[in-house]
Amino acid sequence: MNFRIYQIDAFTNRVFAGNPAAVVVLDEWLDDQTLQAIAVENNLAETAFVIPDPECSKLRWFTPVVEVDLCGHATLATAYILFQQHYCEKTVLRFESRGGNLAVSRNDDVLFLDFPSRPGSPVIVDSSLIETLGITPEFAVLARDLMVVLADEQDVREFTPDFSAIKSLDAFALIVTARGEEVDFVSRFFAPGAGVPEDPVTGSAHCTLIPYWANRLGKTKLSARQLSSRGGDLTCELRGDRVLIGGKVVEYMRGEIRVGEAS
């Protein structure tokens, strides 16, 4: 069986930056074992599998270890391919996913994810959490991910993760964030339990970041930067119980994969 595959750098305007995602276009679902095997073979933080449909495309995401319920950069990458290759006349695409019904719109060369807000609940910053993280956060909240707020951008840059300790947290991943120097806020994202030690740019993390910083800064439109080695820039907006997460994308590679049913 042959399938079209693309590799897209998301949340950036140049190759070798942002977050790379693979997008595999299918006519129908392969079995889960084969989908997971393809993600392992790609060895990227996320591989998106999409069944295009003009009304509502079906979308799933896999890390090299697990299927996840929400992924921003791979959704952005998928939308780019569908806009370019399938639905050139459309300005909005809709997706059915484990994370609910999603939409991606485009405005010139910027794509905007329409995702659910995940504000989270406050977590007590006690000695156990401080020891696990090796830092003392000013504040912490728990949604899908544990988000901890540090004093400033430099603290986020200099944070040294203990991946074994992060795996022990009762959360999918760890978000470390602070007020930005040139943007409204900065962050880093760690999901070693899902096979992603540090993710370059994480759209889904901003479902928790955006409501927090919108409330703290008193505004609904925000600029953000993820401080990974590749780096990425995001345009953010809080709209009630939804968030808009905008960014540019660049196509790096396209080709064809040949697979059989996983044994």
Six-digit token string for 81? 């391919």
Q: Are 24 and 245 in contact (CB under 8 A)?
A: no
Mean pLDDT calculated for residue range 122-144: 95
Question: What's the pLDDT band for 261 if we cut at 50, 70, 90?
Answer: low
User: How confident is the model over 140-157, as a mean pLDDT?
Assistant: 97
CB 100 within 8 A of CB 58: no
CA angle 218, 223, 228 (to 5 degrees): 125
pLDDT of residue 196: 87
With b meaning 16 or more CB within 10 Å and e meaning fewer, what string describes 65-95?
ebbbebbbbbbbbbbbbbbeeebeeeeebbb
Strands 146-149 and 174-179: parallel
φ, ψ at 130 (rounded to 5°): -60, -40
Mean pLDDT across the chain, nearest whole number? 95
CATH code at 121-244: 3.10.310.10
Question: 260 pLDDT exceeds 80?
Answer: no
Q: What does each C-alpha distance from 174 to 79, 154, 255, 258 come to in angstroms?
A: 26, 18, 34, 35
3-state secondary structure of 128: helix
Query: Cα–Cα distance between 192 and 205 in angstroms, integer?
Result: 15
Task: Tell me which residue has tokens 């997008």.
Answer: 23
pLDDT of 2 above 80: yes
68, pLDDT greater than 80: yes
Tell me the per-residue pLDDT of 17-54, one tens digit each, with 9 for 90 and over.
Answer: 999 999 999 999 999 999 999 999 999 989 999 999 99
pLDDT for 149-204, tens place per residue? 999 999 999 999 999 999 999 999 999 999 999 999 999 999 999 888 999 999 99
Catalytic residues: 46
pLDDT surpasses 60 at 262: no
**pLDDT tier, 66 (very low <50, low <70, confident <90, very high otherwise):** very high
The class (CATH top level) of 2-113+247-258 is: alpha beta
What angle (nearest 5°) sits at the alpha carbon of residue 208, between those of residues 154 and 210? 70
Between 178 and 260, the more confident residue is 178
Q: Report H helices in the chain.
A: 32-42, 72-85, 127-133, 153-158, 163-167, 206-217
What pairs with residue 232 in β-bridges? 226
- Can you give the pLDDT at residue 174? 97
Confidence of residue 96 (pLDDT cuts 50, 70, 90): very high
Query: Rounded mean pLDDT of 2-17?
Result: 96
128-151 average pLDDT score: 96
- Domain-wise residue ranges, the chain: 2-113+247-258, 121-244
User: How far is the C-alpha of 127 from the C-alpha of 54, rounded, in Å?
Assistant: 52
